[in-house]
Amino acid sequence: FWWCNPIFKKGYKTPLEESDLYNVCPCDSSDYLGSKLDREWTKQVKRKDVGKKPSLLRALLHTFGIQYMLVGFVVFLEEGTKVIQPILLGGLIRYFTPNSTVGKLEAWMYALGVSLCAIVLAVSHHPYFFCVQRIGMQMRVACCSLMYRKCLKLSNKALGETTTGQIVNLMSNDVNRFDQAVVFLHFLWVGPLQAIAVLVILWHELGPSVLAGFFCAVTFNTSARIYGKIIFKTST
């Protein structure tokens, strides 16, 4: 974010004007994103001719799906590194134990592996969150553009049945869920893989007794979700 420094310096000296702000990236503009989603949504609307229901989710997947799936490799790399790093650290620690069979060269390799894992985690963590948050922003902007275009095409009768508050609520509150949902969706498939890998490693180190701890962790998480849903229902 070093590129922000010039505008910070200018804002420190004089009040910023709208003309001082950077232009929006063309690939993030409402016109570009709205047109992309509009093309896919038009294809979904044509599905009505063959008796199929249009799907906004399918239109979003066709528009942003490939981009979002590519980002998944980054989170897979990050979470895989988190599993590998303790193994390498354990090998390095064994070098310092009495009567260790770990050679000096092997210890250096373990130390290098731990350092590389730390670098990979630092390099992959923030770019992943930046990319998925940007994709979520693009989804939100595209949906807002689509709704705005639809509002311009509404008839007087439809406008009378739709309040301004409903439209404002859709464009200000509901679409914000895209920013939140896309950040953690990849963990739905990375999480189980990571849990299986950790379970295999613990089984190798501790034996069958690891199943007791794994069962307690699953039970605790399941109970927390159930209690959370109950509290949410009772509070609303």
Q: What is the pLDDT of residues 49-66, one digit of tens each?
A: 777 888 888 999 999 999
Domain range list for the chain? 22-185, 186-236
Percent of the chain with pLDDT over 70: 99
Kindly state the DSSP code that residue 161 receives in the 8-state scheme.
H
CA-CA-CA-CA torsion for 189, 194, 197, 200, nearest 10 degrees?
-100
CB 125 within 8 A of CB 83: no
CA–CA gap between residue 131 and residue 128 (Å, rounded): 5
Using DSSP's 3-state secondary structure scheme, residue 96 falls into: coil
Q: What is the pLDDT of residues 115-138, one digit of tens each?
A: 999 999 999 999 999 999 999 999
pLDDT value of residue 218? 83
Sign, CA torsion 170/172/178/181: negative
Tens of each residue's pLDDT in the chain, 236 residues: 788 888 888 888 888 888 888 888 888 898 999 999 999 988 888 887 777 888 888 999 999 999 999 999 999 999 999 999 999 998 898 888 888 888 889 889 999 999 999 999 999 999 999 999 999 999 999 988 888 888 777 777 776 777 777 777 777 777 888 888 888 899 989 988 998 898 888 888 888 888 888 888 888 888 888 888 888 777 66
